[in-house]
């Protein structure tokens, strides 16, 4: 059973990602460590005692579609109500609409715990929080007044409707259309697929944010507008009115996250005899919908990164517990009677320490991204620009690396369980099944790597990333000058990895400057892992400098795993030509 690692989360927030210096400097007003600790402790209790016990029934029974109505597994609707009553949906939302306006760092820390306890539960509120941010930044005052308070409280939930059958990740191919009616509303027509919590029984209204095209809109993504389309129309007094012309026509039968309803949504088909056309309201400006949606998408990408961290944490806990209980063979380090617990075997230890280290560095990267978002929001001028650029740089790392880690760690956890991991009884397989979607949705990890190289490396004329690398090198130098013998060759490993990162960065920036973008993008995925491992090693070192009990894990990572950085650099610098040549053999005439 999952137990929220509240102390580990608090340590990473405060001493690795930067929350404690920010609190000490007063940049979050009167927020102090006592309140932070109290929030984390209660979130941990709720995740451990309320959410985690319902994970198994959610995985086994899943969401069910009857007609156009979706029923969630037994106990889940009541769980959501208790979660909302606890005020968790409003944690980081704006105070103007009933939110608590706490830092994003606390929001993502709590999000980790919900997703560790049951990823299929945690994903639903994630989208509502993203919808709140998109509406707060882009919607008209009238729309904010009508919808935001109930979305912030969690009385209603929100969704994100992008993908269509023919489009996949290519939003330029979207066909859903919006027709103005002349009274300020629009009629929406089209089909959207893979819509998470598009229909459910948690709330009595669902607020859909939908990308669609206006008549005569420009082709491609420049012609997309964003619309608010409620399941039930809402009167000026806030009361629910008639059903809108939108419904769920099917649920996907998925590898994992079975309790999360993944819906095909139909707009404007004349549901139950209605006048065809779902009624919607424009958010932001016409043909500027993608910019509005990306406010929600960036929020969702960090949240999905937390899902990777979350599954990795649960898988690690489960594997360590199993390895201490399961007995098999002899081990030199075991002096007890009979067979040794498998945790004494070096290869099992290697797997468990790899799981633990990867989980911690993914958490550190994701929390550092949240910290950058928070500081950017409370700063101005050049300081705000710097921290927004840092958030932009770290977002693809938080999303892609963390979700890759979720799959990798869940797979290692299954391996530690041996044959018992491959069957459903232990629950290790369920975590692996759940984790596998996260590298795919909210922009595949390949798209995140492209974004990192093509859009984030050029930030500040290409200098921001080098400033970041310099900060990481300063941590390596602190290790070298600390004279703490337990670090072993950690400083050497960090220096090599960061030098490899610097070389790969300059190489890719040179290709981009020369207009050789295809060659640069050939190295994008290994580059994303390279920068993540190098940064992660430095973050582990920062934590170990603050708490010497962490030195052993930091050294293990530096001396056993960080050497991958050199191979990744070679893939970035020397792999494009062979990739292009071999790739031609895959293309049919």
Catalytic residues: 442
- Asked whether 572 and 527 are in contact (CB, 8 A), the reply is yes
d(C-alpha 429, C-alpha 497), whole Å: 33
Q: Which residues of 177-194 are buried (b: 16+ CB within 10 A; e: fewer)?
A: bbeeeeeebbbbbbbbbb
Q: What are the distances in angstroms from CA 356 to CA 74, 316, 408?
A: 33, 6, 11
Spell out the alpha helix ranges (H) of 262-380. Answer: 289-325, 346-378
- Asked whether 500 and 569 are in contact (CB, 8 A), the reply is yes
Helix (H, G, I), strand (E, B) or coil at 436: coil
User: Which letter does DSSP use for residue 459 in this model?
Assistant: G
d(C-alpha 84, C-alpha 378), whole Å: 27
- Asked whether 310 and 5 are in contact (CB, 8 A), the reply is no
- Asked whether 123 and 196 are in contact (CB, 8 A), the reply is yes
d(C-alpha 360, C-alpha 246), whole Å: 42
- Asked whether 535 and 470 are in contact (CB, 8 A), the reply is no
List CB contacts of 530: < 8 A, sequence separation 6 or more: 497, 500, 501, 504, 565, 568, 569, 572
Structure tokens at 247: 């419904």
Among 244, 250, 272, residue whose Cα is nearest residue 66:
250
d(C-alpha 13, C-alpha 370), whole Å: 10
- Asked whether 118 and 430 are in contact (CB, 8 A), the reply is no
d(C-alpha 181, C-alpha 79), whole Å: 40
Helix (H, G, I), strand (E, B) or coil at 413: helix
- Do the bridges between strand 278-283 and strand 232-234 make them parallel or antiparallel, or are there none, so unpaired? unpaired
- Asked whether 291 and 211 are in contact (CB, 8 A), the reply is no
d(C-alpha 278, C-alpha 178), whole Å: 9
- Asked whether 372 and 387 are in contact (CB, 8 A), the reply is yes
Cβ neighbour number for residue 216 with a 10 Å cutoff:
7
């Amino acid at each position: 059973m999952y137990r929220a690692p509240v102390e580990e989360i608090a340590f990473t927030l405060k001493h690795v990602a930067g929350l404690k210096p920010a609190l000490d400097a007063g940049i979050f007003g009167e927020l102090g460590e006592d309140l932070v600790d109290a929030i984390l402790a209660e979130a941990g209790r709720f995740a451990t005692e309320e959410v985690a016990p319902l994970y198994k029934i959610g995985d086994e029974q899943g969401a069910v579609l009857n007609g156009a109505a979706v029923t969630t597994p037994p106990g889940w609707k009541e769980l959501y109500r208790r979660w909302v009553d606890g005020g968790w949906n409003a944690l980081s939302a704006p105070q103007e609409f009933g939110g608590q306006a706490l830092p994003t760092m606390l929001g993502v820390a709590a999000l980790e715990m919900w997703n560790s306890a049951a990823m299929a539960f945690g994903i639903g509120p994630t989208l509502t929080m993203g919808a709140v941010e998109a509406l707060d930044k882009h919607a008209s005052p009238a729309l904010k007044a009508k919808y935001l308070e109930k979305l912030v409280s969690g009385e209603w939930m929100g969704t994100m409707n992008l993908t269509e059958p023919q489009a996949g990740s290519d939003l330029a191919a979207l066909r859903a259309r919006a027709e103005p009616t002349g009274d300020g509303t629009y009629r929406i027509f089209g089909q959207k697929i893979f819509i998470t919590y598009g229909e459910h029984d948690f709330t009595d209204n669902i607020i859909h944010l939908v990308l669609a095209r206006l008549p005569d809109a420009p082709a491609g993504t420049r012609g997309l507008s964003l619309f608010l389309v409620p399941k039930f129309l809402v009167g000026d007094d806030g009361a629910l009115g008639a059903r809108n012309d939108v419904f769920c026509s099917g649920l996907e039968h998925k590898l994992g996250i079975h309790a999360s309803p993944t819906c095909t949504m139909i707009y404007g088909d004349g549901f139950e005899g209605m006048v065809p056309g779902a009624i919607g309201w424009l958010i932001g400006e016409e043909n500027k919908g993608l910019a509005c949606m990306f406010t929600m998408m960036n929020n969702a990408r960090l949240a999905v990164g937390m899902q990777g961290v979350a599954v990795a944490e649960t898988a690690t806990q489960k594997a360590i517990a199993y390895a201490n209980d399961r007995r098999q063979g002899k081990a030199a380090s075991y002096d007890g009677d009979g067979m040794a617990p498998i945790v004494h075997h070096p290869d099992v230890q290697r797997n468990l320490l790899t799981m633990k280290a990867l989980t911690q560095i993914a958490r550190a990267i994701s929390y550092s991204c949240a910290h950058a978002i928070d500081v950017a929001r409370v700063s101005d001028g050049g300081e705000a620009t710097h921290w927004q650029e840092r958030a932009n740089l770290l977002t693809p790392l938080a999303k892609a690396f963390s979700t890759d880690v979720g799959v990798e760690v869940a797979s290692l956890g299954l391996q530690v369980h041996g044959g018992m991991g491959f069957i459903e009884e232990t629950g290790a397989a369920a975590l692996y099944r759940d984790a596998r979607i996260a590298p795919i949705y909210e922009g595949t990890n390949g798209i995140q790597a492209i974004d990192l190289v093509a859009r984030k490396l050029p930030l500040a004329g290409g200098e921001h990333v080098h400033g970041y690398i310099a900060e990481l090198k300063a941590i390596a130098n602190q290790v070298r000058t600390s004279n703490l013998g337990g670090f072993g060759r950690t400083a050497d490993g960090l220096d090599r990895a960061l030098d490899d990162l610097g070389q790969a960065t300059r190489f890719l920036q040179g290709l981009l400057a020369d207009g050789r973008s295809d060659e640069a993008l050939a190295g994008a995925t290994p580059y994303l892992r390279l920068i993540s491992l190098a940064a992660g090693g430095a973050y582990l070192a920062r934590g170990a400098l603050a708490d010497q009990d962490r030195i052993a894990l930091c050294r293990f990572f530096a001396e056993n795993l960080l050497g991958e950085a050199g191979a990744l650099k070679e893939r970035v610098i020397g792999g494009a030509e062979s990739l292009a040549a071999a790739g031609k053999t895959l293309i049919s005439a």
